[in-house]
Amino acid sequence: MSRICLCLTGKTLAQDLEALEIYRKYVDLAELRVDCLDPDERFLIRHFPEQAGLPVILTIRRTKDGGYFQGGEGSRITLFSRGLAFADADRRRNFAYVDLEEDLNVPSLEEAARTFGTRIIRSYHNVQGGVNEDLAAKLRSLRRIGDEIPKVAVKPVNLEDTLRMYAAAAETMNFNKIILGMGHYGVNTRILAEKMGSYLSYTSVIAGAADKLQNTSGGSSLEESAFPPGAPGHLNPRDLAEKYRFRDITAATKIFAVVGYPLNATSSPSFFNQVFTEEKMDAVYVSFPAESLKIFLELADFLNIQGASITVPYKEEIIPHLSSQSDEVKTVGACNTIVRTPIGWAGYNTDTRGFSDSLLNFIGQTSLRGKKLTIIGAGGAARAVAAEVFRLKGKAIILNRTPTRARRLALPYRFKWAATDSAGVELMEKFSDIIIQTTSAGMEPFIDADPLEDYKFTGKEKVMDIVYKPERTRLLLRAEKAGCPVLNGYDMLFRQAMYQYRFFIGTEFPAHLRNRIHI
């Protein structure tokens, strides 16, 4: 079973021990990053394993390998020697592992480690980005002696690189290894380490993590900023252990996914992993940022992903890859949910019902008859919104930066259309009962964007923005200040995710979880 390792990057051993105590129940072992310690602290590392009370990896990472050690190799070897010196017959008092890079050849160090049962992790790091080498061959070449654990840490720069990592892992399932991806594209490899046959997955004390660094005994709290991440892409150990139930993942665990680009922020993993935990399902939900839908579908086949949430910009591009389509997908021309079937991918659109259920609840109505609405945007989400506004008997105008796209969406429903310019804003005045913003304006990285900055709210409009992070976009803040009732996209997200659950799992969303799941 793959293990959770906490990478300790504090400036002092006392800080590292305090952080370890806080996270102890989530981790199986720790990595002491001596390169992060203050110089005086580095001479005190010998007794750290005994103080830690669990297996510890001794690591002194060079800057060229993504670490912080700037001294020469001679001084680094001296520190390694100090950490391994005076080994105790009780192995629990020694470092359990030592991380030695592939180009560090010091037989005396290796002999000292093996004599007292310290396993060697023979590592290779490529922090520059890109997976161009044969990783399976690299893993095999790193194994000099049978008990060594080869480690490959690379930084994929696209999903195709990530796919290469999974392929290399599949080729090397017959021996212990560590294979992990750094950065945004590598996070999923850390969650699915067991699927890759990786001996462990590294975590860090991550700034901004939900849990506070507070000692259970009520002692002093630690500043997360005092712990630089051990490597880009590290998760917080609590998230890995609890949110993703890392220790429960096996070869039989079903994988579900969300795919999009750049996919910097999504709450779907939080939602589905909470549900899987509550329902005791052997399943995990993981994010896959993908600059290519084609590559994601290849990866989905390779990992046997059972279902996926499709988000920007692939809700329309996915349609030719579907073996069957729901009526909503056919009507809207966009798909946000795919499910694996014996004959291929079945496609559904849960944005439609998620949106309409949320909007009708917001306005306290059962239809939109007699209502005049403005829809901002003409993408996949706008397609779902327009279809539901038409189905519910509303009248609308569609505004978009590219008016030809607005026209294309509006014509089948006989809606008005215009550009998001001063002329379009003027036309809005006749369609201002409800305003619905469907674009990515207002979310990262466009947090300061306001697609209706020329529109002056009167306070009579009801305003819905499907963005849910941040909780209030600039558009909603302006509307709220003018006295308008406002709604962000959280409720819509929750409702459409409940419908996705039904397609993924084949049963209705458990009613008792409606008020227990938070995203």
Residues 6+ positions from 187 with CB-CB distance below 8 Å: 181, 233, 235, 287
DSSP 247: G
Residues in the chain: 519
What element of type H or E holds 49? helix 48-52
Residue of 151, 177, 315, 462 marked catalytic: 315
Query: At 380, phi and psi to the nearest 5?
Result: -60, -40
Looking only at the bridges linking them, the beta strands covering 337-341 and 307-310 are: antiparallel
Distance CA 453, CA 421 (A): 10
Beta bridge partners of 399: 376, 418
Secondary structure (DSSP) of 428-494: HTTS-SEEEE-SSTTSTT-TT--TTTT----S--EEEES--SSSS-HHHHHHHHTT--EE-SHHHHH
Q: Is 315 a catalytic residue?
A: yes
**No. of helices (H) and no. of strands (E), the chain:** 17, 20
**Single-letter residue type at 5:** C
Tokens of 325: 């389509």
Q: Which of 276, 274, 351 is nearest to 306 (CA)?
A: 276
| Residues labelled catalytic | 315
